[in-house]
Amino acid sequence: MGLGIDMRHRIAKRAAAEIKNGMIVNLGIGIPSLIPNYVPSTVHVMFHAENGILGLGSSPPLGEEDENVCNAAGYPTTTVQGASYCDSATAFAMIRKGYVDMTILGALEVSEKGDLANWIVPGKRVPGMGGAMELAQKAKKVIVLMNHTSKTGEPKLVKTCSLPLTASGCVGLVITDRAVFKVEKDALLLTELMSPYTVEDILSSTEATVRLSDQLITIP
């Protein structure tokens, strides 16, 4: 089952808290594209998109969309003061050179070692991996936003990824509809619970090794 719109926004709001002043941040397709709506006006950030924008803003009001300004997913967006446009090759060069401080992506699976699988399910047609492989290897920090389980209820936080990897050992933080985890050596550290889920709920729906933080909190 897919996530409802309220939960998608809840995850995006939590992810926005990871963004610090002065960062260049790349946003993936899906939930990450909602994040600009939750960044405080006091935080100056330049959102990067592979299609050639540095300085994405929040979603435009209904009826005020500009058909020539969109994010990497093709959805209407705005730009902030100081934004710039470039071709896709230059946008990718920024990634490969290591100028992106953080990338926030979706995932199909994440392993307890921080391996990321997010670009293909064997046997299914996909448009390609996009910039995921470059971003996962070159961004200074990788955050994953995703459903805690698959549509059939299977864990997506696993001991070892069964799907083709995007990159190994790259993920630093995972935010799901149920919890927040920091990736540590050979385990996921549970730091936050999304109400109304409990520790027992998380342990029963997670295949990866989970350790509990001494400062575990619950997000209302």
* Helix H or strand E encompassing 191: strand 187-194
Distance from C-alpha of 152 to C-alpha of 181, rounded to nearest angstrom: 22
In the beta sheet, which residues pair with residue 53?
Answer: 49, 85
Does 109 participate in catalysis according to the annotation? no
Catalytic residue among 50, 109, 112, 134: 50
CB-facing half-sphere around the CA of 106: CA atoms within 13 A: 20
CB-facing half-sphere around the CA of 180: CA atoms within 13 A: 21
Category of 196 on φ-ψ map: left (φ > 0), alpha (ψ -120 to 50) or beta: alpha
Active site residues: 50
